[in-house]
Structures are given as C-alpha cells and as structure tokens.
Chain A
C-alpha cells in the first residue's frame, strides 16, 4: 500500500524530472531559449509566481486557498504609483504598501477564521474588492518614473549571467519557507490541520491562529510581489498581475500539493512553478498568443488536479486485480 509520503515524493520526482526534460528539449530545439539573457527573462518573469507560491503552498497544505493574491499585488502597485505621484519617497512608500498587504491578508484571515467562511468564497470576493480599490486609487494611470536604482535592481541581472538580482532575495525567502514548512513545528502542524482539522484541534494545535497568520503572511508576500512587479516592468497600473492567481494555483497543484490539504512539498511546488514558467517562456518565444498561454495554464490546472487522482484510481485498480 503506497502511503501518502511515498506518493508525494514520487509526484515531486515526476515534476522535477518533467522540468529537466522541458529545459533540455528547449535548449535543444527552441531558438533563442538557451542564451543567458532569455534565461534571466524566464526567471525574472517567473519570480512573481514563485514569490506568491511560497505562502500559497503553506495555505493549500493547511487546507485553505487565497485567490485574492493577484488583486492584492495589483492594489499594492496602484497605491505605490499613487503615492509616488504625490511626491512621497520610495523608502516611505514600500513599507506602507507592505503594511497594506498585511491588512488585506488579515481581512481574508479574519473572515475565514472568525466567521468560519470558506476561503475559496471569501477570497473570490476580496479578489474583486481589492482590484476595485486599486482602480479607484489609480484610475487608468500608468506610473513609470520610479527611481532608476530600484528599476535596475528589479529588472537587471548580475553581469552577463542568467541570474537576475532579484533571484537572490527570493532564494533567501525560499529557504525560510522550506525550513518553516518542513523543519519547524509550525509546518508540521499545518500538515495535520490540512489532513484533519478536528484531530489537530484535539491535539492542542491552535488552528485558527495559525491560519490567520498564514493569510496575513500571504497578504504581505502578495504585496511584495506587487511592488516587484511594478518595478520589474517599470509600470504601476491598477490591472497589474491580473490573473496571476491562476498561474500560482496551477503551479502549486502541478507541484503535487493536494488541493484537499495535508500533502505535498515546497520542492515540488517550486518545480511546478518553474515548469509553468519555462512553458510560458517557450510559448512566448514561439509567438504563441497570450490568450493561448492562459488556455494552456487552465488546462494544466485541471490536469494537475486530475493527475494524482487518476494515479490513485489506477493504483487501487491494480491492487484489486492483483489481490
């Protein structure tokens, strides 16, 4: 009988292997893929997905989800642009935006934990609400004249290498997330909550408090992503990062995080993120339209939910026929 652990490990390996295969094929057959500049683009464009995937993985493991992340990112960017137009310094604006993200996350968390509403419904609501506020704040303006050092940091790369500057802070955040989820008591309790919230409560785990904390951190990370997005693309607009939640959820599920909670690893999730990022990059190089790219992401999302289930059914069927 394959236990959940080995199944998750296997799925991780599958996604990791798939990532390597896609990369190798792209190196071999896609013109313009293998040069350092394109690779730095690939990584830079994937970083927003990767940044939000970190807290999203923890949320989904604990049995929750946050679909408002892209709107929080957009709101954060819009406020950043509006305050910059007011003449505030960027050093003041960034902490304000991050705090705003914390508040957005806190609102989601309170609605879920205090009122006991399902996070899927709550965050679809705030997805619309936060984006609406973003539009009120900035209207149809596009703010582009942020200070050059910040723009350079968010879009530049180290010398002629494929490594964007922004990758380095991301790697630090990734390490922290891996330690929190896989090596700390907090992470251990998230798996318990996701697998059986009631049993976790009976084991003295503070389920609500931990979920509230997760939603808050997710808001913070979404806001950080919004700031990065505005600087990376040198454009703060109210509709920044629209639809990014779709990519994040698709990537996380593709990486083997069980939608029902309780299973998965951050390694798998990040492999899923870069697999999706690589596919999007290749499609762009091949002049595949943006609409088609969204279609592919949607299909991947459905397949990633379906895949593990089909695999499980097959395993059951095999056990039955041999048993």
Chain B
C-alpha cells in the first residue's frame, strides 16, 4: 500500500497495516494512516466503516491484532488511554464530559492542580495557567465559571484546553461539530487553525463534507474496515469523496418529489409556553414537507415536544385531522395519528438496553394485543416488517439496539413510528450524526411518505437539508415564528436572515 509522499516533517503518529477484529467482525483490515505536525487530516467513511475503532486504537483503548502504531517513527504499544495521553495524544469527543459543579480551571487541572506549601491548592496559579491556555486558543472564557451551563461548543474548547495542558501534540476530534451552530463551528475552526499553526497534528472526523473541505488538507477514507485512499483534498470534489466512502455513485441526496398538498392535517394555533415560545401558529397539509429552521435554542424542539404532548402548553391549541389534542398527553396525540421522532435518539427515541423488536413494539402496545395479552407473534412480525422495510442492518431482531450503529438506530426510531401509520410525522434532526448514505435513504423515505399523503414537519439545523427537502420553510427566532418562506424563495440567505432576526418581517 503506497501513500502520496509528503514533503516536510516526519509523521508524529502513524498506523501501519493495522487490523482489529471483534469476534467475527473485522473492524479494521490493514489500515494505514499518517498524521503530520501542522496538518489537519480528515477521516472519512460511513457509519460502521471503522472510524471509531481506528480512533480508539490511536487513543490506546484498543490494541491492534496485527500491524503497528508508530509514534515519531518508532513502534509503541499503548496499554490504555493513559499511555496514549502521556504520549501527547488527546481525543475530543462529540459530547464532552465535564464535571458540571467544578469551574473551568478546576476541570482542566483536575487532579493535578498547582500546589503551594503543605499541599494547599494554588488557586492563583490554576487561574493564571487557565488564562494562558485560553490565550493560546485565542478564546475568552472565564476560568472561574462553573462548567454547568456552558454550551457544548464551550465545553469542547475546555476539553481542547485540557488536552493542551497535557502538552498534546495530536488532537483527535470525533464529530466535534455535530451539535454546534454555524457560528460556533466557525469559532471552533479558528481554534483548530491556531493549533495547526502551533504545530499540532489534528485528525478531524465529520459527516458534514463541506466542513472537511473547509478545514482539512488531506483525507483518509475507510470503507467496511478497509483503507481506501489517503490523498490531498485539493482538486477533489464532494462527489469524489462520497464515491470513495460508499463505493458507488450516490443516489440523489435530496430526492424531493413534487406533491399537490391536500387538506390540513396538523394545525397549531397561537401556541405558547411561557418563557420558551410565544404565539406560534402554522399548518401542515397532507403531502407536504414543512421545514422548521432556526438556530439551536430558538424553540423549535420545544414546540414539537408541546405539540406531541411531552410538555404542556400554557395557551393555544393543536389539532390533528380537525380533532383538538389534549394538553400534555402523548397517548392521545398518538391515537389521533401524530408521531414524533425526537431529537435525542439515545435518550428519547430508544430504550437502549431493549431489543430492536421490543423498541419498535413499544408503539404497538395497544394494537399487538389479543384478549388483553401481548400477541408476541404479531409484535414480532410488525417489528420485522418495518425493520426490513427501512433496511435496518442487524444480526438478530432480538439484539439490543445499543449494538447498532447510529444510522441504524435512527432507522429503528423511524420504524417504531412509521409502524403506527401516522397521518402527521414530526421529525426532529432526523439525520444528525448519521452517514451520508443513510441520510439519503432517510430523505427518500420522507419524500415517499409525503407522496403517500403524510404531513411531515421536519426540524433541522442542516440548512441544505431543509432547502433540499421542504415545500415550505418556517423559521423561528427566539421563541417566535419569524418567517414562512415558500420553496421557490428559500435560500441560505433568506432563511439565515430570518433565523438570526435580521429580516424585517
């Protein structure tokens, strides 16, 4: 296996022909990778391609079955994450885990804070050291502020600062942008550029291809555990990269069919939840896909939760198919034909320890019943039906959903709700954190559902997705609906203007 030769320094961290299996599953097959100081390197591949295993091998969590990990050109064997950290390798995860009640400075210097005589903690030195780190990253965060209440973006900055305090030379960023807003991504990228200039090697993982092209110099692509290519990004197009990842030309990413809208299926009138959202009114018709755009925190998810009944509303009304819904009662909303695919699939969409079969079955507890008892046969065939229809990839239907990849977990959530044959489907960030192939499948599915007469309300922070899929775009800003933009007029500019409150409505 040959790699494009690079001029300049030797790789600080490299994998050479690394293989790793779990039971019968070959997660990595002869994979090689070189990370150079002062370079941001992208790792691309669909869910299940082996990215996580590769990261964990670099971070000392897994040991390779064969092949070598090379640090400054010399083979090393990490016996645990501590070894990798001591070697200057740090991993920044999508969702950082800070201690909420400790300050930023205390989080960074957890367990190794500067001491004064008699073992007393030197608060001044901790504070100063944290300030110095923030200055290095060119960000402004108060070291004494508690971690509780920090945005995910700020928490990541704290994690990066912590990595720097360990003199990290290699930073592995595992989907750091998945939960960030546009401006937060821009700030994170500034930090990454600063690190690059200071000579750090960065491995960057993201499902958003435009980000890879924005920040990375080279890309290594994995597919089904195998190394496909390591190459410079200059001269490549997004289509080229997708082809490497999926091994074929991708179906259209936004396969929106044209549909003539039918009667009103979901009607929301002057809905208000105090301090969260105010006076929200809109309708979704059968056959329509309505996008609900806005910045994170604009109140989109909260509206969806109230409509479905997980939260109560203070004023207003919601009706499905002309029938008014009861405030705060998801079971009546379901009976009326409403389904909600929630934002957080791990906490809200799925019972992670339960099987695929039973997770899908949870929405059928009223229907797969015979004489008051669970009809296990009916439950199984209902779950199997929908798992197959959505092409969920699993070993056994009785396996826990926690064993599935993110994209397949999301398909199980969709299966669970489509099995109720809803008239109105609300999807909240339906493709967050799932790979591009599955994303196209989800989009095709939504389009087909709409064509079959389902009214779809799609909340998404992924602007191209909203523009590509929605017949109309509703935009929220600070708890209010600020714009309704027809498909023909919806552009990144018009939507973002309304989302940031710049549009003169």
Contacts and interface: CB of A to CB of B under 8 A. Distances in A.
Interface of B: 22, 62, 308, 310, 330-331, 333-334, 340, 342, 347-355, 358, 361-363, 365-366, 369, 372-374, 398-400, 403, 416
Contacts of B354: 4, 191-192, 195
Given A195-B353, A196-B347, 19 more contacts: A3-B403, A4-B354, A4-B400, A5-B355, A179-B373, A183-B374, A184-B374, A185-B365, A188-B362, A196-B352, A196-B353, A199-B351, A202-B308, A202-B342, A202-B348, A202-B349, A204-B330, A204-B334, A262-B351
A203 B362 contact: yes
Nearest to A323: B22
Contact of B373 (A184, A204, A263): A184
B353 A185 contact: no
Nearest to A201: B310
Nearest to A6: B398
Interchain residue pairs A-B with the least CB separation, the first 9: A185-B365, A203-B362, A204-B330, A204-B334, A204-B331, A196-B351, A202-B348, A195-B351, A183-B373
A300 interface: no
A200 B351 contact: yes
Interface string A169-210: 000000000010001110011011001101111111110000
A interface majority secondary structure: helix
9 contacts: A5-B398, A185-B366, A185-B369, A188-B365, A201-B310, A202-B308, A202-B330, A203-B330, A205-B331
Nearest to B330: A204
Interface string A139-150: 000000000000
Interface of A: 1, 3-5, 179, 183-185, 188-189, 191-192, 195-196, 198-206, 262-263, 323
A156 B305 CA distance: 58
A203 B360 CA distance: 10
A179 B371 CA distance: 12
Contacts of B350: 196, 199
A263 B354 CA distance: 10
Nearest to B354: A195
Contact of A202 (B340, B355, B361, B366): B340
A199 B398 contact: no
A1 B399 CA distance: 10
Contact of A201 (B330, B369, B374, B398): B330
A199 B355 contact: no
A198 B362 CA distance: 13
Contact of B347 (A179, A184, A199): A199
A192 B347 contact: no
